[in-house]
Structure 1
Amino acid sequence: MRRRGAVRLGINIDHVATLRNARGGTHPDPVEAARTAIKAGADGITAHLREDRRHITDDDMERLSALCAEQKVPLNMELAATEEMVAIATRLKPHAACLVPERREERTTEGGLDVAGQHNRLVPIIAQLADAGCRVSLFIEAQPHQIDAAARTAAKVVEFHTGAYAHALDDGDTDRADEILAQLQAGGQIAQEAGLEVHYGHGLTFDNVVPVAAIPQAKELNIGHFIIGEAVFLGLAPAIHRMASIIRDARVA
């Protein structure tokens, strides 16, 4: 059982579907991966239904919705702010709907959603998702103007993009990583003061997660690609157990 105040760990199973789709067929099944993750103690399951269906499919989302309802585990559906995706989300009614930026040419989500620049367009979309019973989350950069814009919507959660922090460490640029970490820390405080719950995600690994997990305002981390990759060597359940342990210990000090 997780201690009160511990950071929740959401597992993104998109890249199990990527592996399946590389060859076609039905294996490995991302829904079975979600089931394994839940048994291993995941606090939630995340899946991104992209417009080009490059990994998760509509059938996957249907089955994930049924599994998470059965297991009483939150499903976090990541989606672009398009009419098609919003219609699917309002029909499935996942626990959480996380709006993310999406470009066909990108390999994965690059950067945060421009809530400030698209505020008038996003407000009614966010309201529609909220009215359907979804807890709306916005995947943004930890920038004050984006946080302020998010707070002026019906969204309850912001998830800060940690990709630039992870890439800076990968490049050996520790000064840049420290600068970005400071922005993530400050963003957590600003968002909490604005009444938003604070999540973090993208590019987090065993080696870089501790400073992010230690941010006092962090309520949830969403991690996918790294854990699915480590599962090749460790197995999915052990990889989840190890990440959960590292995150838990980050709050002990």
Structure 2
Amino acid sequence: MTRLSVNINKIATLRNSRGGNNPDLIQVARDCEAFGAQGITVHPRPDERHIRYNDVYQLKEILTTEFNIEGNCQEQKFVDLVLAVKPAQVTLVPDVLGQITSNHGWDTITNKKYLTDIVKTFKDAGIRVSLFVDPVAEMVEAAAETGTDRVELYTEGYASQYHNGKEAAIKPYVEAAEAAKKIGLGLNAGHDLDLNNLRYFALEIPWLKEVSIGHALISDAIYFGLENTIQMYLNQLSDIANPLEEIGMQGKV
């Protein structure tokens, strides 16, 4: 089963909008785990407009599931944070200062030397590394040459085109996923996945290891409640056979 990691950035955004500690980010993280989430994701940014750096240290102390920290590794403060916290996974995203949300993946060909060096920095510290990439087979293949353990496919394009024809929308993602499978890269996905489009994505790419979902899940929780919403997302991922686990995947995880 593809693992669900809940991105709690939006909880921090709500908290920060009024000051104080309501909602309590740490308690929400505990509740997400108790309600079935298999991981927690945060994406701290330099301006700390949602997740604060201190939040990351506090979360490390209480989480019992997989901790995934996303962010811009070109910011030294982010690199220092990840190396100090040592999460299970770091997802490297090519954000720029002030960016509202991530909107593209790495050019792993142009940035191969830089990515190789930074991937090694994190792996030497015992942290699994995932590179955020667009659904382009060449970018996936070049990512493998950096030494990364996984790639995370940026799924906004799929989500925005899903209702115009899901078969066409998923096509480049299947091709990129096949490239990752062929060269032994673990595969994650994230951005704008929701209750409408998630199951089809997972069915078409059943060797998908993890999805990171925040905005849509937290928005749905306003109507359905957090516990019920997490269960609804988990249900979208259930009962999907993973052929790689059946035969034993060779290569990186």
The TM-score, its normalising length taken from structure 2, stands at 0.90
Tell me how far apart the structure 2 counterparts of residues 190 and 233 of structure 1 sit (CA, whole Å).
38
Aligned length: 240
Tell me how far apart the structure 2 counterparts of residues 57 and 106 of structure 1 sit (CA, whole Å).
16
The answer to whether residue 47 in structure 2 is matched with residue 52 in structure 1 is: yes
Q: 1:242 is paired with a residue of what secondary structure? A: helix
The answer to whether residue 230 in structure 2 is matched with residue 235 in structure 1 is: no
Matching residue of 2:87: 94
Tell me how far apart the structure 2 counterparts of residues 163 and 27 of structure 1 sit (CA, whole Å).
30
How far did 1:26 drift?
A: 1.3
Tell me how far apart the structure 1 counterparts of residues 138 and 185 of structure 2 sit (CA, whole Å).
14
Tell me how far apart the structure 2 counterparts of residues 105 and 63 of structure 1 sit (CA, whole Å).
25
The answer to whether residue 185 in structure 2 is matched with residue 192 in structure 1 is: no
State the Cα deviation string for residues 33-85 of structure 1 (Å, max 9, x = none). Answer: 111110011111110111221110011100111112xx2x1100001112221
Say which of 203, 210, 220 aligns to 2:210.
220
Matching residue of 2:164: 173
Letter in 1 for 2:42: A
Q: 1:218 is paired with a residue of what secondary structure? A: coil
The TM-score, its normalising length taken from structure 1, stands at 0.90
Q: Which runs of 4+ in 1 moved over 6 A?
A: none
Matching residue of 2:30: 35
Tell me how far apart the structure 2 counterparts of residues 251 and 223 of structure 1 sit (CA, whole Å).
21
The answer to whether residue 144 in structure 2 is matched with residue 151 in structure 1 is: yes
Letter in 2 for 1:28: P
Q: Is the contact made by 1:210 and 1:250 (CA closer than 8 Å) also made in structure 2?
A: no
Letter in 2 for 1:121: Y
The percentage of counterpart residues that share the same residue type is: 33
Q: Is the contact made by 1:200 and 1:212 (CA closer than 8 Å) also made in structure 2?
A: no
Q: Is the contact made by 1:213 and 1:221 (CA closer than 8 Å) also made in structure 2?
A: no
Q: Which runs of 5+ in 2 are unaligned?
A: 243-253
Matching residue of 1:3: none
The answer to whether residue 194 in structure 2 is matched with residue 205 in structure 1 is: yes
Q: 1:139 is paired with a residue of what secondary structure? A: strand
